[in-house]
Amino acid sequence: MMQARSADSVWLWPGEAPFSSPEGDAQRPWLERHPADTAEVRGAVLVCPGGGYNHRAAHEAEPIARRFNACGFHAFVVHYRVAPHRHPAPLLDAARALRLIRAHAGEWRVDPARIAVCGFSAGGHLAAGLGVHYGMDVLNVGDDLDAISARPDALILAYPVITSGEFMHRGCFDTLLGPDAAPELLRLMSLELQVTPETPPTFLWHTAEDGSVPVENSLLFAAALHKHGVPFELHVYPYGRHGMGLAPEDAHVATWAELCCAWLKRSA
């Protein structure tokens, strides 16, 4: 079900988005603004909700943005394209959203050198994908925004889909890449294999008993960050289902947001 576009939002693309699917032409991606209650220039967080690349989960959108507002950050939600659209459409939308924020940094009171990208589940795959693939040629579409960096200054990954290997979330990769994706494409989008020393500092959290996206997804990405000397912070909570968002039902897991805000103030 499509979410309603808020008044304080902008279209990502002036017309039809690149790599649009004819079957998904009703989806026009947009960026939703949630400014902090301040006239000061602040860092910002771009939020990518989860939903298996089939939809965008509402509880991982505006409530997350408001939580970062409470920490003093401007926040944005990217309503990226989902099925039947496939790669690279979601990644293009995330990169475009980040570039738009930087392009309007003065108007929106954002520090363009302090923009984190936060993603949940499949949105975590999208955020991490931007963190490792921000230099992909396909993200350049031939307009003025191509000159603006699409590299996040930090990543925040909540129970993210990461790997196409042993611990993959099959449904997510089938939706994003197709059930018959070539091995080289699966490897390209297995993000623990794409980490470099230029990957942004990263905050990760997961639950050990996640029955949908195995915790090994976060562990593999953290190990790759460590291997390449990229600073990271990882929290694994022993209990909790997949898709908890702000985790209002579990006070222990809910500590992730405060920990993340403290980390973000030091890191981005």
Q: What is the pLDDT of residue 1?
A: 38
Give the CATH number of domain 38-267; options: 3.40.50.720, 3.40.50.300, 3.40.50.1820, 1.10.443.10.
3.40.50.1820
Provide CB contacts within 8 A for 97, sequence distance 6+.
12, 31, 46, 76, 78, 80
Provide CB contacts within 8 A for 99, sequence distance 6+.
145, 148, 149, 150
Q: What is the pLDDT of residue 38?
A: 94
- For the chain, 268 residues long, the average pLDDT of each consecutive 10-residue run is 64 94 81 96 98 98 98 98 97 98 98 98 98 97 97 98 97 97 98 98 98 98 98 98 98 98 88
Q: What is the pLDDT of residue 23?
A: 74
Q: What is the pLDDT of residue 25?
A: 64
Q: What is the pLDDT of residue 215?
A: 98
- Cβ atoms within 10 Å of 266's Cβ, excluding its own: 10
DSSP 8-state symbol, 58:
G
Cis previous bond, 84, omega within 30: yes
Residue found by looking up tokens 């912070």 in the block: 233
